[in-house]
Amino acid sequence: MSGIPVWAQLIYLLAAVCFILALKGLSSPRHARRGNAVGAVGAVVACVVVFFYGHLHHVPAILVAIAVGTAVGFVGARRVQMTQMPQLVALFNGVGGGAAALVALLELADLLDSSGDSSGAHVAKFTLAATTFTILVGSVSFAGSLVTFAKLQELMTSRPVVFRGLPVAFALSLVAAVVLAVLVVTQPALYLGAILAVVGLLLGVLLVLPVGGADVPIVISLLNAFTGLTVAAGGYVLDNTLLLVAGTLVGASGTFLTKLMASAMGRSVVNILFGALRGGSTLGAGVASDRPVRSAGPEDVAILLAYAHRVIVVPGYGLAVAQAQHTLRELVDLLGERGIKVDYAIHPVAGRMPGHMNVLLAEAQVPYEQLREMDDINPEFKQTDVVLVVGANDVVNPAAKTTPGAPIYGMPILHADEAQQVVFMKRSMRPGFAGIENQLLFDPRTTLLFGDAKDSLGKILSAVKAL
Amino acid sequence: MSEQVVWLTIFVLSIFVGVEVISKVSSTLHTPLMSGANAIHGIILLGAILVCGYAQTTAQLVIGLVAVVLASVNMVGGFVVTDRMLQMFTRRKPARSKVSR
């Protein structure tokens, strides 16, 4: 910690506090934006400071590179649609991990240079270990995030990609990575570090390929934690406490979120990552049943809704795909004006990443007070007249409670089946992501409204207006 | 106290601060939390600037500059997109007129 002047270290401390405040601000939607701004200021100040004490060379080139990155990041962040948020987060996470790995590679070169002889015998083993960790995990995070991005952006199939020999390939690369890592620490050489980075990339790809589309959110969260820890280790290598604190905060938060998400799906993280490898497919039979269902037109649904006292809306990703959030919000507002109490029940894994559905509805200007968490709203389904399920399926499937052996058994669900009436808006009888049939669809209290969500909601809206 | 132990202390305490702070975040804001945390690890930019500034060969400089670009995409993009999302949550009254698009 000797290379950095005290005043700069104090500013780093301040920046670390800014980061903590940024995360703390997220405990309430009202203060969250200010918190984020505080964090951004901390980050910028910390980066400016380094130019004043660092005696850096190549400053103009560095400034140009920052300008390029800033422009790309800014435009990407402004342009992205809210439905594409998971991809963007994956991408940003990946480039962060990639940057950390490159930094560690350069630092390895520097460590070997400064130790006089290139054998690196004088470099502290602990520093080498941290460098190695950063190179390896940073590369895993980079490649893994890019594959995740490709899956979400539908540049490639979102189904689990499993080929014969994949488990073997994964195991071999894992062994190779460990051996190389040990070699870099014991007999440091730059070329070994570079090979380690390549193996890391391979490992990242193989890790994410077998993960199915529905489980990708958990992978994003996990890779986020990886990148955080990489940055923390990089902080140790570079003698920089700010990087250590910031990286650790992110690592802890990412790990925490990953566990939270996994338990919201009723599965373990290991099962999500390696479930497809073990062969125990998470897909059910997926046979569309020809059992009778009760379907109705938009006018019938409008009457059902307009004369209810209590309505709960269960939105799913299908809503966002149909871009029907705004129409839904209009309908809910209209029902509200008729004196009907309407809330949105948000399942923790609704959407494509944790909390995604909330963002999509907030974009449609739904006040966040109407967005209710699962545990909070579940007791209220019993007193609810109509539950309107739009573009969701698995999160209200009672099989999670009643059918041991079902792929989603044990997953906490929204208790829509306890309401008086359930209206499903669906495009077809196709099962949800988990590929299993939903018994609730065949329940006598259930009405189905087939068609595009936006279209149907528009029709219901005008029908309610006409009443 | 050896320097390693100081680092370890900071590390362990940061874990607790991280978990403590994050467990208070409502699930409504989990997406902004992820992208905000994402932006924070963009601080690796600091490290990228440092290694770039001490680069001795052209190859090192080029790799360093690539790292700077990637890290600034991560940091700037992360904070901007988080702000964009949070802006939607802080809007108190649902405006009747479309704000954009």
CB-based contact A4:A239 (threshold 8 Å): yes
Å between A390 CA and nearest CA of chain B: 19
If one counts every other C-beta atom within 10 angstroms of the C-beta of residue A458, the result is: 16
Least confident of A165-169, A269-273, A403-407: A403-407
Q: Name residues whose C-beta falls within 8 Å of residue A281's C-beta, 6 or more positions apart in sequence.
A: none
Q: Which residues pair with A341 in a beta bridge?
A: A310
Q: Which chain B residues are closer than 8 Å to A59 by Cβ?
A: 53
Structure tokens at A137: 């995990």
- Which has the closest alpha carbon to A421: A441, A439, A445, A397? A445
Of B49, B66, B80, the CB nearest to A77: B80
- Residue A385 is a catalytic residue: no
Flag whether pLDDT at A176 surpasses 90: yes
Instruction: Identify the band that residue A68 occupies on the pLDDT scale cut at 50, 70 and 90.
Output: very high
If one counts every other C-beta atom within 10 angstroms of the C-beta of residue A164, the result is: 7
Which amino acid does the sequence have at A449?
A: L
Q: What is the DSSP string of A36-96?
A: HHHHHHHHHHHHHHHHHHS--S-HHHHHHHHHHHHHHHHHHHHH--GGGHHHHHHHHHHHH
Q: Name residues whose C-beta falls within 8 Å of residue A199's C-beta, 6 or more positions apart in sequence.
A: A136, A139, A173, A176, A177, A180
Query: Domain-by-domain residue ranges, chain A?
Result: 1-79, 84-274, 298-466
Instruction: Identify the band that residue A1 occupies on the pLDDT scale cut at 50, 70 and 90.
Output: very low
Q: Ramachandran region of residue A116, left (φ > 0), alpha (ψ -120 to 50) or beta?
A: left
Best to test chain A binding among B46, B80, B91 (most A CBs inside 10 Å): B46
**CATH architecture entry for A298-466:** 3-Layer(aba) Sandwich (3.40)
**Does B37 contact A at CB distance below 8 Å?**
yes
Å between A25 CA and nearest CA of chain B: 8
- Quick one: pLDDT at residue A288? 53
Which amino acid does the sequence have at B44?
A: I
Cα distances from A19 to residues A99, A245, B55, in angstroms, run: 20, 9, 29
Question: Which residue is it, tokens 């109705």?
Answer: A296
CB pairs under 8 A between A and B: 373
C-alpha count within 13 angstroms, C-beta hemisphere, residue A369: 6
CB-based contact B5:A225 (threshold 8 Å): no
Which of A49-58, A146-155, A390-399, B74-83 holds the top average pLDDT?
Answer: B74-83
Query: Which of A215, A343, A394, A417 does the annotation list as catalytic?
Result: A394
CB-based contact A128:A111 (threshold 8 Å): yes
User: Residue A13: helix, strand or coil by DSSP?
Assistant: helix
Give the residues of chain B that fall short of pLDDT 50: 94-101
- Quick one: pLDDT at residue A340? 92
CB-based contact A438:A406 (threshold 8 Å): no
CB-based contact A5:B2 (threshold 8 Å): no
Flag whether pLDDT at A404 surpasses 90: no
- Quick one: pLDDT at residue A409? 79
pLDDT average, residue stretch A432-458:
84
- Quick one: pLDDT at residue A155? 85
